[in-house]
Amino acid sequence: MTTDGLDLLQGTLDVLVLRALAGKPQHGYAVARFIRESSDGTFRIIDGALYTALHRMEERGWVESEWGLSEKGKRAKFYRLTAAGRRALRSEAATWERYVAAVGKVLRAEPA
């Protein structure tokens, strides 16, 4: 992780976390690792914010948590998407893609 990575845009962290949980339940560290690795270290992630996001999402009912054992047999807190979380992921991802597409269009357009 490099210190000169990009700052995350406001509200983007949620969709990344949701995406990280789209598969099987994960603990917080795995979520952080997933985002780091799948973005090739592009984003400068504050891990504290990630945990805050996870707990907020649990309060909002997007994820559920349960204590389990990690791959190495240590006690860890696992998060799983709820149905509401899946719906949130779909709509957030769609919004994000529309946003990216729109920004891309503008950037490619020739000014008159």
> Least distance to another protein from the beta carbon of 74, Å?
6
Per CB under 8 A, does 16 bind another protein?
A: no
18 vs 45 by CB, closer to another protein: 45
Q: Is 2 helix (H, G, I), strand (E, B) or coil?
A: coil
Per CB under 8 A, does 84 bind another protein?
A: no
> Least distance to another protein from the beta carbon of 72, Å?
8
Per-residue CA distances from 6 to 36, 41, 72, 80, 90 (Å) = 12, 9, 32, 28, 24
Per CB under 8 A, does 56 bind another protein?
A: yes
CA distance 31 to 18: 9
Per CB under 8 A, does 80 bind another protein?
A: no
